[in-house]
A and B are shown apart, each in its own frame.
Chain A
């Protein structure tokens, strides 16, 4: 793998993105804001304070996590799949000095870049409504990059093995949605049977939500475990995504 060549792939995606961002940025931004408004304000009116904060403020850090997560997963499932099969962009790129390892690296880096970008937008938005209490929030940017890498890797693995684009429905319904709902974004997991917490511990979003909440509130819960968990997951998943995608693309 050559990082300069991988950067050229990243740069291609960036160039294309600058042509399309007007439509995509609005869509990516609207969804998290809808969650904040519907749950935070709508449902929040009937919910008592959680851990001493109003409900909307409780869920806001988790929305940073989920927004950045969905940015990377949409990019590296549907986006990557379309480039690989329908648009044949991979064929075009691989006919140049770029090799498959460079291409996969470029895809992963682009996925995590979008993660950072869409997480940061939410940070800015909730800061605007005074829902951020600590300057530690700045530490979230590198964290969002690492977690973005994990979500990109998981998505690439999925992209490498799906028979067709419709199969992503299984990934979203059976994996992404349950993770989104049971990661501690909307309610503390300790209210549920302990088995749920145990399962949640094995999902990246749970740890990312913990870190986001700690950095936004400034109350340093022990997040070192969460950070180590994310670093380990990003490292372990990387080679799997390379091997599987190479197997899919190079016939």
Chain B
């Protein structure tokens, strides 16, 4: 290492002689920090999304590399949020990537004391069987005066405010056709 290289490796020298008199940019870089690059730059793809927490509707950009979410940040294009996110929105990468997420079906049998694992298709079939049976057992064709009721009060559902419009549409459509009236969500609460 020559003397000149050694002196130029000294940040104060670069700060005093270079283009960064405040020492907050190039002057302060080490070889390591100079070689760092943003995850957003090396991502394979970016999806334009919306924060899943409150109803302000802040824009999010979700960066994915090698099949993993590597960064979620505010979308500066959004006229609603102008790139900003609150503590919850800023933490939403850890919501998506958390190792606490349930990734397989868990099943608790009646009177059971712990979870068991269950195959997804098996669980779907079991739920469909139970919907059919609950309907059959609690179906009401008509009221006492013969007016139609077409319904079951044996099935209830709660949730929708955190879901997509398209999902709420299918939920309401299917349950209505099944005669299941007792469909509610956070808007009642």
Answer yes or no: are A and B bound together in one complex.
no
Residues of B in contact with A (beta carbons under 8 Å apart): none
